[in-house]
Amino acid sequence: MALFDFLKSSILSKIAMAVTGLLLVLFIVGHMVGNLQVFLGRDVFNTYAHFLQSLGELLWVIRFALFATLVVHIISSIRVKLLNAGAKPVKYSIKKYVKATWFGRSMLLTGITVFIFLAYHLAHFTIGAVDPSNFHFDEVYGPNGMFVRHDAWLMVVMGFKQPIVALLYIAGVILLGFHLNHAIQSMFQTLGWNHPKYFPTIEKSSVVFSVIIVLLYMTIPVSILLGLVGGNL
């Protein structure tokens, strides 16, 4: 009975939400570090992309795990929200610590927008459906040009040379930043780590973290658009 009560309670959803949220943040940071290698040149970036592709079946396991993490995160976040709304007809006094910003109230909206951005992004760089003419590039590499691999660097550069594409990504990562900032703060609140003494620090750290993520991601489309990367092409 205790186990049944536990599964029904919001505690399990809260744990699931926090753990999957943390995993997604780790992915976002890792993916960003990987992508920033675009500044280290074509060879370094393509070696990294080639390494990921060479993982073969393991890559599919990682992709599946990532997708499952995202699904569990969405479901558990919605469940926690609904359980909280149902359980507390009278608002928390704690509520005041998380500022009732427009984006705070619009987690669902920014969440959906980030989801749409992600779908567009996968169709663009992973499936190649958005811009097929700038997807299939090959790079000849190795001693005496012995090998051929996917030229992911050129794909990214040719993608972001188009202002509309670069602007879409800039908008996408800004929305991701708003979502991330509020999600981190609300996770701390949900888990009960919202002591008035520490919450302002949590709030500031979350803003700083989200701004750094947004700015670093943005450097990629902005630098390519300004011709600082791939300007000679």
Chain residues that interact with ligand HEM, rule: CB under 6 A? 28, 31, 35, 49, 52-53, 63, 66, 118, 121-122, 125-126, 152, 156, 169, 173, 176, 217, 220-221
CB of 57 to ligand HEM, least distance (A): 13
Give Rg (Cα) of the chain: 21
> Closest CB to ligand HEM among 53 and 205?
53
31 or 136, CB closer to ligand HEM?
Answer: 31
Q: Is 17 or 166 the residue whose CB approaches ligand HEM more closely?
A: 166
Q: How far is the CB of 228 from ligand HEM (least distance, A)?
A: 14
User: Rounded distance, CA 210 to CA 174, Å?
Assistant: 9
For residue 182 the two structure tokens come to 């509020």
Q: Which residues on adjacent β-strands are paired with residue 140?
A: 148
What minimum distance in Å lies between the beta carbon of 58 and ligand HEM? 11
The token duo for 40 is 């280290």
Query: 199-225 vs 163-190: helix axis angle to the nearest 10?
Result: 170
Tokens representing 38 are: 């675009």
Name the residue nearer to ligand HEM (CB basis): 14 or 124.
124
Give all strands (DSSP E) within 39-181, no chain letters: 138-141, 147-150
Single-letter amino acid, residue 179: H
C-beta of 1: minimal distance to ligand HEM in Å? 40
| Size of the chain in residues | 233
Cβ atoms of 233 and 157 within 8 Å: the answer is: yes
CB of 82 to ligand HEM, least distance (A): 24
At its nearest, how many Å lie between ligand HEM and the CB of residue 156?
A: 5
Which CB sits closer to ligand HEM, 15 or 122? 122
Tokens read off for 37 = 């290698």
Which residue's CB is nearer to ligand HEM, number 14 or number 179?
Answer: 179
